[in-house]
A and B are shown apart, each in its own frame.
Chain A
């Protein structure tokens, strides 16, 4: 794995530059920076609608130093697969010679978990040689914090607000990584924006594989999560330690844990209490809700651990 120094001191410089209009302390831009730094070959990026596209490509300015193509919420994966197919067609007919171009699609959780799921599913099933990276900040942050399929249970959003009747979003977060494993793709991984080493390692591993790859990355949104800007990195790390967002990878259907907090595992409340979107859970009378969230996290963690253990014993 390339060290941070090697990534930072590449002669070509950064492929994703500053001056974009994301909020101070935004969690997603460093995913783009690190992922692009980890790819050594020429790369074509496709971006779904979302903070990613709105912040980085306000006409006439762009933060991308690589070819960047924006399409709608629902078809970034379809567009990327089309670019890939066209590229291989040109290669086959001999109109281009270099065969080392790689394809990456970026999408937010709204454009991946909800609106773009059908095109993503299609692209993965057709087996295009592309990497889809979903940065998951748990709501439609770009349009004003509306709930999405990725919003955790009991989070406060503008379309599932906390009130006298309901304590925020009532449904559980969708498990997208597992949905993608169901597509039988060669590589699926879950990581966070706050662990550069793990993120770079997983992007490098994905890039070494030909075929469809999927990466889902938890990213903090200081605006939507109602957190302090300087805590952006710490928050995603706490999500891992609380086992709310375990780091794991699935290679050819085999689950492998990337990090096990073991005795460093913290109660999920330690992660929730730093976020304004969960502050109602700490009011008197809501202890039951908190216990419910903890039980859910513990069950999922135990299931995942058992699955990883089962696969580690297989040859």
Chain B
């Protein structure tokens, strides 16, 4: 028997009996349920009009937080962004589509 994890259960903190049997991971990439976005002090703001979709920010984000849609960069995933500022730092200076501001 395998237990499927869901976000509701994660936030409610799983008890020992609710955890998957045998210590197995039931879902690949399940860490997305852990919202590390609440760690941040600052957050990047993405300007759609300035972005040239060079994917530099995508390549260096440690938390895979730059969304990609239809072959273009499509914003920041604030649920997992830890606000390190790498994306704003590597964004080409002439473009500067990403800027840091105080997290809300």
Chain A neighbourhood of B5, CB < 8 A: 60-61
Which of B15-43 touch A at CB < 8 Å?
Answer: 19-20, 23, 25-36, 39-40
Which of A192-220 touch B at CB < 8 Å?
Answer: 194, 196
Most chain A beta carbons < 10 A, residue from B10, B32, B58, B68: B58
Most chain A beta carbons < 10 A, residue from B28, B54, B63, B77: B63
**1/0 contact trace for A175-194 toward B, CB 8 Å?**
00000000000000000001
**1/0 contact trace for A54-66 toward B, CB 8 Å?**
0011111111111
Chain A neighbourhood of B30, CB < 8 A: 60-62
CA distance A34 to B62 in the complex (A): 10
Complex contact A18–B20 (CB within 8 A): no
Closest CB in chain B relative to A74 CB, distance in Å: 22
Q: Does chain A have a CB within 8 A of B92?
A: no
Complex contact A27–B62 (CB within 8 A): yes
Task: Count chain B residues whose beta carbon lies closer than 8 angstroms to a beta carbon of A.
Answer: 45
Task: Count chain A residues whose beta carbon lies closer than 8 angstroms to a beta carbon of B.
Answer: 45
Of B25, B36, B55, the residue contacting A60 (CB under 8 A) is: B25
Chain A neighbourhood of B95, CB < 8 A: none
Q: Does chain B have a CB within 8 A of A226?
A: no
Complex contact A5–B55 (CB within 8 A): yes
CA distance A25 to B29 in the complex (A): 20
Known: A18-B65, A230-B85. A30 touches B60 (CB 8 A): yes
Chain A neighbourhood of B90, CB < 8 A: 233
Most chain A beta carbons < 10 A, residue from B29, B35, B77: B29
Q: Does chain B have a CB within 8 A of A251?
A: no
Which of A221-276 touch B at CB < 8 Å?
Answer: 222, 228-234
Complex contact A20–B71 (CB within 8 A): no
The residue of chain A having its C-beta at the shortest distance from the C-beta of B24 within the complex is A60
Can you list 10 residue pairs at the A/B interface with Cβ under 8 Å?
A18-B63, A30-B62, A59-B19, A61-B25, A62-B25, A62-B28, A65-B28, A66-B28, A230-B86, A232-B60
In the A-B complex, the 4 residue pairs with the smallest Cβ-Cβ separation, listed nearest first, are A230-B85, A25-B84, A19-B31, A24-B82
Can you add 14 more A-B contacts, CB < 8 Å, to A29-B63, A60-B20? A4-B56, A8-B59, A9-B68, A14-B64, A17-B31, A17-B64, A21-B34, A24-B40, A30-B61, A59-B25, A60-B14, A63-B31, A65-B28, A196-B59
